[in-house]
Chain A
């Protein structure tokens, strides 16, 4: 039985574990419809199929030019392993999501973004080239100059164009492994929006919203900024973790316990503004120190809803969405608000210029109605929902939110990928 990170749904599946190109070819010819799987950190059903090909054994580094910061690796290498190699030499990931436990291939397929999207864009902006295995077992290189259509469809393409086997990434030089962090309390959504506007030039920014606060405090948040520090050296973080050992009872997280947690979190900081010198690990990967945190949401699992609204919709649209969530009392732990820069050329990459909101929901029967209503608001404002987190978006809604789906499908057909690569999600979305 396998699931995505959200532990919903669980399905029966066979997983092949090829370790060489020949074994990958055999695996592809043995499976009728399949999808690649890395570390299983996509929340929903985008890396779920009854037949899957694991990239876990395709996890070798190929080359590292420590002078120019160019790294080539196989797709199954995790960002965590990449950091272990590059940080001591003074390099960092140019874009990183909120967990380091994703593979390089997964980061490409989701075209992940981070706290610096407003400045640097998505992960794929730093990908020089990719090697794919197409549905017929042949290898195909692609980049911005070489098979560009395939490259742009693959970045953010949810593994639906072919098996991503290898790639080359351009790294970012950093002055130390430490971050100068500024945390500012914002009393409501208006305040946090103006903080984003004022700090648009900051390298990293994010806000944790208490999505249970309502009325005058609607959108109350902790706004966080970060810049790479000049001091501190290139130490790796200690490998210490806590683990959630068991699937917790779902009732543990209810509107009371979460309201209490969020209030504590918000008031933990006394001053209006707090400056700290922190290691990059707690700054970028706070949840990675709690292994298996997805078990907190109980047996039925959870989903994350992440949407982005264009700048024009801004405050008004976000308020409408937040109000709906606050009223439902279903919102969970701190939700995350980020500002996004312009959209890139990839067909299915999620970010568009504007604001993105992400929050977790425990799976409950009434939840899906709420999420459908949110979809309508998001689509109305010409926003979209992030496929990497999604488990329930309808085909009609998807096609409205991602108008380039037809172009994407045409590329899928051109490379024969529609005959082979299917996930639960792609079937649901009509891809």
Chain B
């Protein structure tokens, strides 16, 4: 379950990176002359035209350092990580002290599955930008994905020290504690993330979900149900949270509501294997073994590779 909850990490990382690169660093500020059109397109997130504008700029001035940087950035945004890493590397050959470029290169490597290189680049980026909480956060994410939980713990703690209001920082700190079987610390981190999230305008469903699943693991089914309901308020059609909520309700002997949730989910998504499994478990407890058998068997069919 811990890893399922990490499943959306790559897409989330990409989105988060887009938010991250907000043209804040002086070294990468708007360059003069020919890069101006490209920067305008980048600001508009029009990656295709930004790329074309950068190509034209580099034709005119092949060694334009800023163009190399922005080219790597645009290629990253369009999912062309291999090419992005090549431009970032070229940029870093001439400007090795750029924390931003190392950040892009590190995330390129991460997306390419070269996590050791990714971690090395982000470690350097962190040294070059000691006040950059994002670098620590993404480093932590990579270390978490690589199951280096003690290192991830340190990275998330550093990220939080630099940005004490980071919901995602506390959320991932919680997941790291959970991975280390430090369930009490994990719960505290999720609660902190939720406390911070309640102060935000843009809310996250993840700490509610994670605290719900953790509570279920700890045998506190009613608490789990409450947290999972909150997660679903933020993301109503979230099937994974619905299945977990049904499991929590089942554990709390609230069979009717649990069954309704799963029936509704299976009407919308009849191929949801986990929903069939949880419904089967529930039906066993409700003493409907024949119905349960049908759902167990459907689960097995859907689970086949």
Asked if A pairs with B, the answer is no
Please list the residues of chain B having a beta carbon within 8 angstroms of any beta carbon in chain A: none
Please list the residues of chain A having a beta carbon within 8 angstroms of any beta carbon in chain B.
none
